Structure 1
Amino acid sequence: MTAETVAPEWMHHQITADEYDSWSEEQCAGIEIVDGMVVVSPSASKRHNRLARLLANALDAAAGPEWNADTDFDVRLQDVPLTNRRPDVVVYRAETIDLTPTRPEHVLLVVEVVSPGSETTDRVVKVNQYARAGIAFYWRIEQTPHGVPLVYTHLLDPATRSYRDADVFTGTVRATVPFPVEIDLGAV
């Protein structure tokens, strides 16, 4: 076996929260941790990244001073076994900007932009994980062949820790919850 074919040691055992917290930002980029195991995320397309950035900018502007919206950072769903997800967009309490890790109680809304290869994870797995963690709102953006995205919004039912379907938007989001926001995604 050559050095190129030997998987790194961290791919062979569960990662603890302490181990992960000791890694550099560079080591954590492009991965998620699910039940302690490293899951490598494929590189996103330019369209995917543009959708996420447009959403984050619009949500940040509409959220008011109590909330921030941003991209590309971990949300620690559980410590044991470690589960860190990296949603495409996160709306979180502004007062927690310097707290690490970001935890579900800091988060109001997570958004996932579905890409080839993430369909089942974004439509089924993450929905259940975010709901069980108690995150109040989940939005899923589906990219369509004609280029106009579909936005599915979901609202947490706290009693069952599962999401109820809410509004569906085509192209332009005109949401009233978790706060009023209008986002034109048709121009992507």
Structure 2
Amino acid sequence: MTAEMAAPAWMHEQITAEQYDSWSEEQCAGIEVVDGMVVVSPGASERHNRLARILANALEAAAGPDWNADTDFDVRLQDVPLTNRRPDVVVYRAETIDITPTRPEHVLLVVEVVSPGSETTDRIVKADQYAKSGIAFYWRVEQAATGVPLVYTHVLDPATRTYRDGDVFTGVIKVSAPFAVEVDLSTI
């Protein structure tokens, strides 16, 4: 193997929170860190990104001034071994906008839009990690073959640190918790 073909060290060794925090925003884009190992995520489809953006905009408008909703930034689930997830949508306390890294205690709701290749991770692994870290609400958006998304809502049981199944929506989401919001995803 020539020097040009050698994989970077971070592909073979656990990284620390300090190492990750020293990386530029460009270096951190498109990756997550799980148990200290860098996981590279493939680029999302336009449909995936549009679903996330529409949800983030609707959630932010409905949440009021105490909460922000954004796409594509890290939530630090644990420091050792480092686990950073990058949910598709995050609703977090507005007062923590300048606090880095964003921690689970700053977050009210995370949304994952399931894509080919992320099914098991989004349906099982991330849901378990978000619940164990104490994030109160988890929504999973499935891109159905009909083109109309299915949205599965989950609420944290604080005693067991697991999610209970909530409502399932086809196209139009209408919930009262964590705050009242209605958003139509059927036209995407």
TM-score between both structures, scaled by the size of structure 2: 0.99
What secondary structure, in the 3-state scheme, does the structure 2 residue paired with 1:183 have? Answer: strand
Q: Deviations over 1:4-44 (max 9, x none)?
A: 53211111110100000000000000000000000000110
Aligned to 1:159: 159
Aligned to 2:88: 88
What secondary structure, in the 3-state scheme, does the structure 2 residue paired with 1:49 have? Answer: helix
What secondary structure, in the 3-state scheme, does the structure 2 residue paired with 1:50 have? Answer: helix
Aligned to 1:21: 21
Aligned to 1:42: 42
What secondary structure, in the 3-state scheme, does the structure 2 residue paired with 1:52 have? Answer: helix
Change beyond 3 A, Cα 1:81–1:145: same
Backbone CA RMSD of aligned residues: 0.7
Aligned to 2:168: 168
How many residues get paired? 188
Which residue type is aligned with residue 118 of structure 1?
S
Q: Does 1:177 align with 2:148?
A: no
2:158, 2:37 → 1: CA distance? Answer: 28
2:45, 2:182 → 1: CA distance? Answer: 24
Q: Which runs of 5+ in 2 are unaligned?
A: none
How much does 1:3 deviate?
A: 4.2
Which residue type is aligned with residue 114 of structure 1?
V
How much does 1:2 deviate?
A: 3.3
1:100, 1:84 → 2: CA distance? Answer: 12
What secondary structure, in the 3-state scheme, does the structure 2 residue paired with 1:166 have? Answer: strand
Q: Which runs of 5+ in 1 are unaligned?
A: none
2:152, 2:6 → 1: CA distance? Answer: 41
Aligned to 1:60: 60
What secondary structure, in the 3-state scheme, does the structure 1 residue paired with 2:92 have? Answer: strand
Moved over 6 A (4+): none
What secondary structure, in the 3-state scheme, does the structure 2 residue paired with 1:26 have? Answer: helix
How much does 1:183 deviate?
A: 0.5
Q: Percent identity?
A: 81
